[in-house]
Structure 1
Amino acid sequence: MAVELQQRIRWLALHGVIRGLSKVGARRSGDPQARLISDPDVRADPAAFADELRERGPIIRCRAVLLTFDHQVAHELLRSDDFRVSSLGAGLPKPLRWINDKTHPGLLHPIEPPSLLSIEPPDHTRCRKLVSSVFTPRAVAALRDRVQQTADQLLDDLEAEYRGDGSAVVDIVERYCSQLPVAVISDILGVPERDRQHILHFGELGAPGLDIGLSWRQYMQVHEGLVGFNDWLGGHLQRLRRNPGDDLMSQLIQASEDSAEGARLSERELQATAGLVLAAGFETTVNLLGNGIRMLLDTPGHLEALSARPELWPTAVEEILRLDSPVQMSARFARRDVEVAGTAIKRGELVIIHLAGANRDPKVFDDPHRFDIERDNAGKHLSFSGGRHFCLGAALARAEGEVGLRTFFERYPDARLAGAGSRRDTRVLRGWSTLPITLGTARAALGS
């Protein structure tokens, strides 16, 4: 009972009060931040929300924060030394922040220190340097063959199960989009096959944890996922210490232990890094694959073009990342009084960077709402953030997107939607939780 009461108090401080105030603010004044938190229409169509507000200027002052949909401003903020990353609860009023700190359960969270997403130099430099020494471009490039093998095997399994039944309907998120990245990232981190469904389950529970203003039910769902993941992760790292493999996580553990005293990762830093790589390594890629399959099924002309000109796949993936960003938002605190795009920002003020809106800025992208797999500047999107916090796994995500989508549509070129599907009930992350499709007749795997 005491534990539940503590969690109830923490939920009120971290989410409940803001949730209630946001509903009132959205209804009475139309405050953009309040709508971003509480309006289901904004969650359903973030592009329309961005278009509606874009004309107010490059930076919009809301009741408690600032907000930008401007590509140039977003690009500058992500790289500026005048701003620092945020962390869960850091923007709360002092009384609520105090309650949050006092009721913290001690669990690792992807947007709390010592996660790379929530720390700055010198700690960020030290941790990222060590991780980068293991997750090298060569190491990531070597994983491309593994991505291809995994995609082929998953589709072989589907084909064997349905035995050429062209009318078979499957939830492609459950059967393919989630299975591909979790298998690849598990190989990277030395996760045994028996544990991979647990990882998927913890990830699904924890996905809303990047949002603010959660309901009590969502909060407890996230808490359950964090408890399960933290318990599993501690045991997993101990197993790798006892029996290291040739996976990159075993190499990271060894590299940390071999480093000079000041360069090592603490045990908590190591766990936070492993947890972030694992969660970010499949959560966002599940969204990329699901969003891509849905967008391409909606545009059969693009599928015909990609079949005739497979060299277009890399640009198609960049355009999918731009147009339906798996990560919709980021945030930065001002370190000092500063002026950006003619707006005075005071030290300590929080700026919400709407990455998805910046990715549709008409000043940068012609006809920004059009899905164009030949767009020459599609790669200018900000879906992987920027600056010192640019996504470590960007190259792997691109490879998984390109290989995963191309391989699926080469095997099932006649696939079509079999229902509306359902979006994830999250705001920072955007993707499909279910996507039913009719597979159609399978073609033989290339090279078989």
Structure 2
Amino acid sequence: MKPQYIYRWVNNHGVVRLFEKALLRRGDLFARLNGSSEGIENPYALIEQMRGDGGLRRTLPVWTAFDHDLVREILRDNRFGTGMPTVLGVPRPLRRILDRRPLPPNPVDPPSMLVIDQPEHTRMRKPIAAAFTPRAVARLRDRIETVTDELLAALPDDGPTDLVARYAAQVPIAIISEMLGFPDSDREMFLRWGDDISPLLDIGISWRTHQQAMESSERVYRYLVEHVERLRAEPGDDILSSLVAAGDLSTYELCASATLLMAAGFETTVNLIGKGIVWLLRHPGQLDRLRAEPELWPNAVEEILRIDPPVQSTARTTRTTVEIGGTRLRKGSIVVLSLAGANRDSAVFTDPARFDITRDNAKNHLSFSSGIHVCLGAGLARMEAAHALRALFETFPDLRLTDPPTRRPLFTLHGYEHLPAHTGPRVRSHLTAG
């Protein structure tokens, strides 16, 4: 049992878990949203109850925000940082041990870009940003179409399948693996590691779940160190090879960046595609409109992102005393920002619970965050989802779910674990880009 893991779990999860359990016994809305099956199956009813009259809401041990303009303002305010405050005092001898044994790189510990602020954030982000410019993403279109066609060809004709395992998960993992120079044979291994590590983005997870996540992080780290060394000797045409050649980041930082890119490049997009399938099958009139007007597909993806975001929330910590939203926050206050709540704010979106692929301001959602931490891969996720969804429904127009979808047991990364379906007769095996 490694002391750095114990410290991390107590600081980031253990104390919160105690609060959460006590609050759940009292029926607290925040605890129900972030610590019960109710918060996974139907978070939006709880969010509307918590929103109340708007502004910041106090729920021990954090503050929460659900209003679009307030969430956006905090995401863009440099008085708020991304790091979590320390709740466990550490004796100096133990501190020295912890410093000698850094945590394996993972998406929610420094130097991950998710949890560092300026100027380190710019130093880590700038070398990677070139791979996600609109021009760079556009160059991936042909590859996305090819991967999608191959996956559709592998689905059964007029037969049963799981649309998460066989399709929604396979599109993004194939693309991000190629972007990082990983062999195709390692994709399934990354999917397993991703399932283990993704709970780290939740709050109050159990010790066993945390330990499994950190052990998988260690395995990913060992893999990436060997991969980086291979790229030093034989660079390829991928992001990591470019970063290795530039020499701006240490091996540990390269592995941290690769781990985050794997998580962000896969976890959000698989949830987006899976949710898109469910929303469109449950709203056949909207799907018919897309078949008649395929130019609406990009906006349909924005509406899916708005109404049911793959990432439900994020958090910020005050770096100083802050006055915002009519509330005074002391330094070190944690604010949980509900991206899902912001996306259903009636002050911004008319009839926000209605799914409307023609909504003219759907793109005003905050599903990819805002400010300096806005998602680097947002453009790539949009393109992958639009093509994957359109190709699926054009190839299998009689596609239907055969059983209720199964949710992933996660609160922050919100999506489906299984989508049991019957494809129906295949109409075409290739979708021409349009």
CA distance in 1, matches of 2:240, 2:131: 8
| Structure 2 counterpart of 1:122 | 119
| Structure 1 counterpart of 2:413 | 429
Question: Which aligned pairs between 1:89-108 and structure 2 lie closer than 5 A?
Answer: 90-95=84-89, 106-108=103-105
Residue 249 of structure 2 is aligned to residue 265 of structure 1: yes
Q: CA deviation at 1:232?
A: 1.2
| Structure 1 counterpart of 2:14 | 16
Question: Which digits, 9 at most, give the CA deviation of each residue in 1:390-432, with x for residues without a partner?
Answer: 1000000000010010011110110001101210111110000
Residue 170 of structure 2 is aligned to residue 186 of structure 1: no
Residue 42 of structure 2 is aligned to residue 48 of structure 1: no
Q: CA deviation at 1:33?
A: 3.8
Question: Which aligned pairs between 1:315-354 and structure 2 lie closer than 5 A?
Answer: 315-354=299-338
| Structure 2 counterpart of 1:241 | 232
The one of 147, 167, 177 aligned to 2:168:
177
Q: CA deviation at 1:54?
A: 1.1
Q: CA deviation at 1:131?
A: 1.3
Q: Give the secondary structure class of the aligned counterpart of 1:351.
A: strand
Question: Which aligned pairs between 1:32-47 and structure 2 lie closer than 5 A?
Answer: 32-47=29-44
The one of 368, 391, 394 aligned to 1:384:
368
Q: CA deviation at 1:97?
A: 11
> Contact conserved, 1:14 with 1:100, CA < 8 A, in 2?
no
Question: Which digits, 9 at most, give the CA deviation of each residue in 1:265-288, with x for residues without a partner?
Answer: 222222111111112101110100
Question: Which digits, 9 at most, give the CA deviation of each residue in 1:314-338, with x for residues without a partner?
Answer: 0100000111110011111112212
CA distance in 2, matches of 1:75, 1:243: 43
Q: Give the secondary structure class of the aligned counterpart of 2:147.
A: helix
Unaligned runs of 5+ in 2: none
> Contact conserved, 2:299 with 2:358, CA < 8 A, in 1?
yes
> Contact conserved, 2:151 with 2:167, CA < 8 A, in 1?
yes
Q: CA 1:97 to 1:185, structure 2 compared with 1: closer, same or farther past 3 Å?
A: farther
> Contact conserved, 2:181 with 2:239, CA < 8 A, in 1?
yes
Q: CA deviation at 1:13?
A: 4.9
1:16 aligned partner, one-letter code: G
Q: Give the secondary structure class of the aligned counterpart of 2:335.
A: strand
Q: CA deviation at 1:135?
A: 3.3
The one of 362, 377, 381 aligned to 1:393:
377
1:143 aligned partner, one-letter code: L
Q: Give the secondary structure class of the aligned counterpart of 2:404.
A: coil
CA distance in 1, matches of 2:124, 2:283: 42
Q: CA deviation at 1:5?
A: 7.9
The one of 105, 113, 122 aligned to 2:110:
113
Q: CA deviation at 1:49?
A: 1.0
The one of 194, 199, 219 aligned to 2:190:
199
CA distance in 2, matches of 1:100, 1:301: 60
Residue 280 of structure 2 is aligned to residue 296 of structure 1: yes
CA distance in 2, matches of 1:402, 1:216: 38
Instruction: Give the length in aligned residue pairs.
Output: 429
Q: CA 1:106 to 1:84, structure 2 compared with 1: closer, same or farther past 3 Å?
A: same
Q: CA deviation at 1:233?
A: 1.4
CA distance in 1, matches of 2:8, 2:317: 23
Q: CA deviation at 1:100?
A: 9.6
| 237-246 or 67-76, larger mean C-alpha shift | 237-246
Q: CA deviation at 1:447?
A: 6.0
Q: CA 1:120 to 1:195, structure 2 compared with 1: closer, same or farther past 3 Å?
A: same
| Structure 2 counterpart of 1:261 | none
| 317-326 or 4-13, larger mean C-alpha shift | 4-13
Alpha carbon RMSD of aligned pairs, Å?
2.1
> Contact conserved, 1:134 with 1:251, CA < 8 A, in 2?
no
| Structure 1 counterpart of 2:137 | 140
Q: CA deviation at 1:174?
A: 0.2
Q: Give the secondary structure class of the aligned counterpart of 2:220.
A: helix
2:143 aligned partner, one-letter code: R
Unaligned runs of 5+ in 1: 258-263
1:276 aligned partner, one-letter code: L
Residue 270 of structure 2 is aligned to residue 286 of structure 1: yes
The one of 23, 35, 46 aligned to 1:25:
23
CA distance in 2, matches of 1:340, 1:124: 24
Residue 218 of structure 2 is aligned to residue 227 of structure 1: yes
1:194 aligned partner, one-letter code: S
